[in-house]
Structure 1
């Protein structure tokens, strides 16, 4: 792929991927659930994640987590046009971020433009779509990996149903 695997940045990146893949088995255990892994093992069920995202775009049980102004910023792309630093620009996945949230992209289409949320390891997905007023979450029972070049095939039926329902 034209990557100098001896370069420090590449070596660190490849090492973290190998560690993450080996660590996925750990995260499927009770000890893995108890571990405190920054940005790596938030554990929740789909209902709780959907309620959290719902509270970002409206009140849930009288509580709203962020203002409408913050939601507006959470849906404005901040990384479009940026690429991985060379030589990592050859990696197939690009991320789209606003202020603190991922935005829709081919691997994580959510409900399209205006959606914001986060894709998690193993096929988890949670997001809000302010225009439709929907907050959605999908969770699965283990940390099985997914494709990196398109949406998780498990999402396709229910995302299609949501799009059809919204018209």
Structure 2
């Protein structure tokens, strides 16, 4: 049983590290390449969802679709990172408050480091707004973790 817990702990932290590497990997892309890739992805998603006509009728949405997609990805990446970090931290038997604080710290520090790193990549720049969006994704993840932990406690006490 101890071995299984150790393996789970290592897998949980490997997932956190992998997510950080993925985030920094996206930031390593040249600015022009990054925009081009995300434009192709967002247009493919719009096409798959058969939203071409709907978006084409909304000029503001049409012009800003890639920007909105990129910001949604910022939010999503840090949402996922925070869920993974919270899960990994719970292996240390931290209460939900401490696990939440440390998970937020991991996410926010990663966001800051990521934006500072982007200053060194051609065609990229750092934006405080991205750190705020990243932190918002992390905060929503923490709220979901709190609700999940509370639901589990409520289910155990009512059983």
TM (norm. structure 1) is 0.30
Larger fraction in strand = 1
- The higher-RCO structure (CA 8 Å, 6+ apart) is 2
TM (norm. structure 2) is 0.31
Larger fraction in helix = 2
Which of 1 and 2 has greater Rg?
A: 2
